[in-house]
Amino acid sequence: MTLDLIVRGAAAVLQDGVKQVEIGIKDGIIAVIANRIEEASMETIDGSGLTVLPGAVDVHVHLNEPGLGHWEGFDTGTAALAAGGCTTCFDMPLNGRPPTVTEHALRMKLAAASSSRIDYGLWGGLMPGHMDSIGPLAEAGVIGFKAFMCFPGSTEEGDFREVDDVSLLRGMERITPTGRLLALHAETEPIVAALADEMKRAGKTDARSYARSRPIWAERDAVRRALLAAELTGCPVHFVHISSSDAVLDIAEARRAGIDASIETCAHYLTLTEDDLAEIGAAAKCSPPLRDTANLERLWELVADGTIEIVSSDHSPCPPEMKDSSDFFAIWGGISGAQSTMELMLDEGHLKRGLPLTRIARAVAGAPAERFGIADRKGAIEVGRDADLAFVDLNGTYRLEREMLFDRHRQSPYVGRQIGCRVVRTMVRGRTVYAEGALTGGAGGGILVRPTVQAAGSVFRPNPQSTLRG
């Protein structure tokens, strides 16, 4: 066999440890992993001094096409993801216009995704008035469904809408037999709306007042109601961007009781605090908001022991004018962090806190691939899987500057941050899409990944080496 490519000299983060091995690639697939590969190859990459991780699977991005490509599109959004070592992303049903709640909208999304530079999956939406689309969307291959338990942020007619408790329950009943899961933005709308109104009537429209209008107990209240609905319906659930350690432990407790639930947090909750929100301003506004330092450190403990399985970016960009207001409540709430997730996890998790590289790889690649039914192809450096690789210089300290970013508006809250490592090359199915600060090749390199439907009643379990807390 003549291989297309051999990676030599790098330390590879495999599922059972970090090993100095060579990786042989044929037709975009990892064909050989060995101490020394003797087969001939058409190309060799010297990875000396570098660490190779499985390409990240970012399960939570907003690329806003169709209709709002001037916010962000597949071309620029996936360029940023590629530059950050991400090889597969899942695009949310909002803020595209129309949102992905019908088969017609899904076809429009698929057309827009043709400019993706990496592989991708597409979320469907659970939204009142569109319950009959759940089955057809599942059949069409959506990776799962997404629902908001609070106001999604737009009042435009036809845009995405939140669910009430009854529509949440009815939606779960329809999702369960499809074998897909339901992702939830868990904040209780009556609580956050009342507190926001209270702050604004008192003239408190600064960053800290915004953060206090969305307290941890609003997140926990929504989590607990969703867990009850999941228990009643048997619907597998995935909690996106959980911001508080208390909510994580609520979910872990329910999981021990048999509820099929997974936990995602984001790089910003592991690297930024409410103090940073006040200092950085609009670029760091998100929902749920950033929390205090003690909570941040508890989240890291929960990542370390595997209770938090998945870390994503929740890349949620907007035009610059939507981040420009003296009223912090009026500013669009979304962080543009697609390019930095892997580097931040390695810097803050491995280099500063000593988490094993295998734990970081599992959080950004392995566990997402398993949870969403694509682990036959994605999420690990293993023979038979796609050659999705991120080459990282763990000594490549640099300062992130705005001009280094590839997303459309470059509004990252991490601009100016010193990062202790750097992604220097990203490969998708054996093809280099980013190297040494530049994109390589053109757009249109991505393919749609579809989930392997799990049997009804199966329960996702974290890594058996993990210790569930709570």
DSSP sequence for 202-271: TT--SHHHHHHTS-HHHHHHHHHHHHHHHHHH---EEE-S---HHHHHHHHHHHHTT--EEEEEEHHHHH
- What is the structure's pLDDT at 305? 97
Tell me the sheet residues that pair with 262. 238
pLDDT value for 454? 65
Alpha carbon separation from 252 to 41, 123, 249 (Å, rounded): 47, 24, 5
Between strands 261-266 and 310-312, the pairing is parallel
**Is beta strand 119-122 parallel, antiparallel or unpaired with respect to 29-34?**
unpaired
Check residue 404 and give its pLDDT. 98
C-alpha dihedral, 459 to 162 to 168 to 253, nearest 10°: 40
Is cis: bond before 413, omega within 30 of 0?
no
Q: Domain residues of the chain, as ranges?
A: 65-371
Convert 123-152 to b/e letters by CB count within 10 Å (16 or more is b).
Answer: bbbbbbebbebbeebbeebbbbbbbbbbbb
The answer for residues whose C-beta is within 8 angstroms of residue 199's C-beta and 6 or more apart is 205, 209, 210, 212, 213, 329
Residue 26's DSSP bridge partners are: 29
pTM: 0.96
Instruction: Decide yes or no: CATH 3.20.20.140 for domain 65-371.
Output: yes
Considering Cα of 13, then 467, then 306, then 274, what sign does the dihedral take?
Answer: negative
The partner residues of 18 in beta bridges, in order of sequence, read 13
- Other beta carbons within 10 angstroms of residue 354's beta carbon come to 9
Q: Which ranges of the chain have pLDDT less than 70?
A: 443-444, 454-470
pLDDT at 470: 30
Calpha distance 294→86 (Å, rounded):
29
Residue of 340, 245, 319, 240 lying closest to 287 (CA atoms): 240
Residues 344/269, Cβ–Cβ less than 8 Å: no
* Residue 437, Ramachandran bin (φ over 0: left; ψ between -120 and 50: alpha; else beta): left
